[in-house]
Amino acid sequence: MAQIELIGICKKYKEETVIQDLNLTIRDGSFTVLVGPSGCGKSTTLRMVAGLERQSAGDILIDGQRVNDTPPGLRDVAMVFQNYALYPTMTVRGNIEFGLKNRGVSRKERERLISDISEIVGLGPYLDKKPQNLSGGQRQRVALARAMVKQPKVFILDEPLSNLDAKLRNQMRTELIQLHERLGTTFVYVTHDQVEAMSMGDEIVVMNEGAVQQADSPMKLYEQPANLFTAQFIGTPAMNIMKVGDIKGLRVLPESGAYHVGFRPEHAQINPDTPVEGLVLEGDILTRESLGAEHIYQIRSKAGAFFVKTFLKPLVTAERVRIAVPHGHLYYFSLTGSRMQTAGAANEETSSRQLIAGGV
């Protein structure tokens, strides 16, 4: 078990800066997910923690010890690769055993560890098979077993589920969460899939263009996005963003500096029965996606196209609808994209959101 600290990390490839002054603390025993679009530097960060890549500047601490000059094998870190990276010429047993042999673990001890591990991940009958004779899910398990058997301080997983089909992915997701609970080890997990991040992580680090956008728990990330990027990255469909100036009837204090207003598709009400205080739009329904329990509508209004999601409600068949979002569910962002937490004159009675909107 270990806490990981990244202090002032920079990474440059020749002239190109991939990561600029990254500061991050990964809590001991947490399931931390690094998430972001491809090229955001999340994999590079992970690889630097593992020691497969060297940072251009800054310090990496694992369990309070500086590991800048520690080779990967001695960092007490185990990694699961996206394509599993199993040794194809070795049997499953050989794959799991290789790291133990290199550490000089005795034969008897190795036997014991391997039988324990294969029990946990359910590989018992396959120990003497070669990886190419296994299914994708089984290979994934071998990769996990190979990492687990070393009993590392830190588990590093680089998009481990992206090569699996949807059904298996869901199953492995649950298994990984259970595994984390069982081992209590620090897990660092990289994915580009925000759904995976939200469902697995207890700590999510949203990255973009080599910088941390926000590091928080899933619910905080959803409810309190720090900026436009996280707001739009988390949630399916993404948060709807509009320019404040494009929306008629939304009164915003000019001095608040709010430039964008956003709301989540699931917070919008279609044709509300009672009048709603907040943002009101009229628009035409362009598309309807029905998933059974929920419906997703794409709606075009004068302020732009946006999505609305409803749960357990009948499908709206009308062409033209009125959409309302209460004040409490509106998010305001400045021109630079950072979220406005408080703005304008403080008033004990009203929330910050209403303050920006000028109260009602």
Partner 1 sequence: MEPANRAFDGHTVAVPGGRMLEAPGRPALVRSAAVLLLKALNVAALLLLVLIFAMPFVWMLSTSLKTLPETMIFPPEWIPRNPVWSNYASAWQTGPFLHYITNSAVISVSILLLQMLTIIPAAYAFARYRFVGSGFLFSLVMVTLMIPTQLIFLPVYLELSAFKLLNTHLGLILPFASSAFGIFLLRQAFRQIPEELVEASRLDQAKEWKIIIRIMVPMVKPVLVTFALFSFIAHWNDYFWPLVMTTNETARTLPIGIAKIREVEGGGTWNILMAGNVILVAPILAAFFLAQKHIIKAFVYNGVK
Alpha carbons within 13 angstroms on the beta-carbon side of residue 287 total 7
Q: Does 50 bind partner 1 (CB under 8 A)?
A: yes
Q: Does 249 bind partner 1 (CB under 8 A)?
A: no
Q: Give the Cα separation of 179 and 325 in Å (integer).
A: 40
Q: Does 83 bind partner 1 (CB under 8 A)?
A: yes
Q: Does 89 bind partner 1 (CB under 8 A)?
A: yes
Q: Does 162 bind partner 1 (CB under 8 A)?
A: no
Work out how close the CB of 103 gets to partner 1 at its nearest, in angstroms, rounded to a whole number. Answer: 6
Q: Give the Cα separation of 85 and 95 in Å (integer).
A: 10
104 exposure class (CB count in 10 Å sphere: 0-12, 13-18, 19+): exposed
Out of 29, 99, 304, 337, name the contact with partner 1 by CB under 8 A.
99
Q: Does 79 bind partner 1 (CB under 8 A)?
A: yes
Chain positions 122 to 151 lying near partner 1, rule: CB under 8 A, are: 132, 146, 150
Q: Does 261 bind partner 1 (CB under 8 A)?
A: no
Name the one range near partner 1 by CB under 8 A: 78-86, 203-211, 287-295, 325-333.
Answer: 78-86
Q: Please state whether 344 falls in left (phi above 0), alpha (psi between -120 and 50) or beta.
A: left
Name the one range near partner 1 by CB under 8 A: 31-39, 44-52, 281-289, 297-305.
Answer: 44-52
Q: Return contacts of 208-211, CB within 8 angstroms, 24+ apart.
A: 208/36, 208/37, 208/40, 208/233, 209/40, 209/41, 210/11, 210/17, 210/18, 210/19, 210/20, 210/22, 210/40, 210/41, 211/19, 211/20, 211/21, 211/22, 211/41
Q: Does 52 bind partner 1 (CB under 8 A)?
A: yes
Q: Does 74 bind partner 1 (CB under 8 A)?
A: yes
Q: Give the Cα separation of 137 and 166 in Å (integer).
A: 11
Name the one range near partner 1 by CB under 8 A: 83-91, 195-203, 213-221, 333-341.
Answer: 83-91
Binding positions for partner 1, rule: CB under 8 A:
50-52, 71-74, 77-79, 81-83, 85-90, 98-99, 102-103, 132, 146, 150
